[in-house]
């Protein structure tokens, strides 16, 4: 199969992730489909204790339901002062059905009394691609930063308004999509995944 023949399904319902992943994968010559096209894929329970386990669960479930190569992303924010929380629970930190704003507001409340030098955090992303013949590749990316006291910026999604990149002096929500891709956990994981792609499905 040549690179341009490959169809992949993005195993995510998070539109922020779709926006960051789809155009890069398309630029790589892949035909990218969203989960909307596959109503037979129901809710996938993320029962894993790690980003790796959850990414594998999602990729395998979508691959099995569609018969196509599936790419899943499990990601989250690990905060030093909270011993790595919210971590794999980042999407539901403020409870089931929580919005992005509910989640980052809860995080700012939890860190209210934590001084600047102890507000270190990193975004983590693990990406898994699963093929119908059982082959898999995976990649991990991390992005070091700090949790702000106030939200800043309008871009991105999730915790981006409260995640400060010390090298750029801006929050993730103040970066263009290209700037974020060049530095982010997801950008790094995706680049590593694509390096392994030619021997996998290309």
74 is catalytic: yes
**138 is an interface residue for ligand ITT by CB under 6 A:** no
Secondary structure class of 57 (helix, strand, coil): helix
Comparison of 66 and 184: residue with beta carbon closer to ligand ITT: 184
Query: Which of 186, 193, 197, 201: binder of ligand ITT (CB under 6 A)?
Result: 186
In the complex, minimum distance from the CB of residue 103 to ligand ITT, in angstroms, rounded to a whole number: 6
Tokens of 148: 């702000």
User: Per the residue annotation, which of 5, 36, 73, 74 is the catalytic one?
Assistant: 74
Residue 51: in which H helix or E strand, if any? helix 51-66
**188 is an interface residue for ligand ITT by CB under 6 A:** no
- φ, ψ at 116 (rounded to 5°): -50, -40
Cα separation, 183 vs 172, in Å, equals 10
In the complex, minimum distance from the CB of residue 167 to ligand ITT, in angstroms, rounded to a whole number: 16
In the complex, minimum distance from the CB of residue 17 to ligand ITT, in angstroms, rounded to a whole number: 6
Binding string to ligand ITT for residues 72 to 101, with x set by CB under 6 A, is what?
A: -xxxxx------------xx--------x-
Residue 191: in which H helix or E strand, if any? helix 185-196
Cα separation, 171 vs 165, in Å, equals 6
Sequence-separated (6 or more) residues with CB below 8 Å from residue 84 = 78
CB atoms within 10 A of CB 104: 25
**12 is an interface residue for ligand ITT by CB under 6 A:** yes
In the complex, minimum distance from the CB of residue 14 to ligand ITT, in angstroms, rounded to a whole number: 3
**146 is an interface residue for ligand ITT by CB under 6 A:** no
Secondary structure class of 128 (helix, strand, coil): strand
Residues near ligand ITT (CB under 6 A) are 12-14, 17, 46, 73-77, 90-91, 100, 103, 123, 156-160, 172, 184, 186
């Amino acid at each position: 199969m040549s690179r341009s023949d490959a169809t992949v399904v993005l195993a995510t319902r998070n539109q922020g992730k779709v926006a960051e992943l789809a155009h890069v994968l398309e630029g790589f010559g892949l035909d990218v489909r969203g989960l909307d096209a596959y109503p037979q894929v129901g809710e996938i329970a993320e029962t894993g204790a790690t980003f790796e386990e959850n990414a594998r669960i999602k990729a395998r479930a979508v691959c099995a339901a569609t018969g196509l190569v599936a790419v899943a992303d499990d990601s989250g924010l690990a905060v030093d002062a909270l011993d790595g929380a919210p971590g794999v629970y980042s999407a539901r930190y403020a409870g089931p059905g929580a919005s992005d704003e509910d989640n980052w507001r809860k995080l700012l409340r939890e860190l209210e009394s934590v001084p600047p030098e102890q507000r270190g955090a990193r975004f983590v992303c693990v990406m898994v691609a699963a093929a119908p013949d059982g082959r898999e590749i995976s990649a991990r990316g991390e992005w070091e930063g700090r949790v702000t006291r106030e939200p800043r910026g309008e871009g991105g999604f999730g915790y981006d308004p409260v995640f400060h990149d010390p090298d750029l002096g801006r929050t993730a929500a103040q970066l263009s999509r290209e700037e974020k891709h060049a530095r982010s956990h997801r950008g790094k994981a995706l680049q590593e995944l694509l390096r392994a792609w030619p021997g996998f499905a290309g």
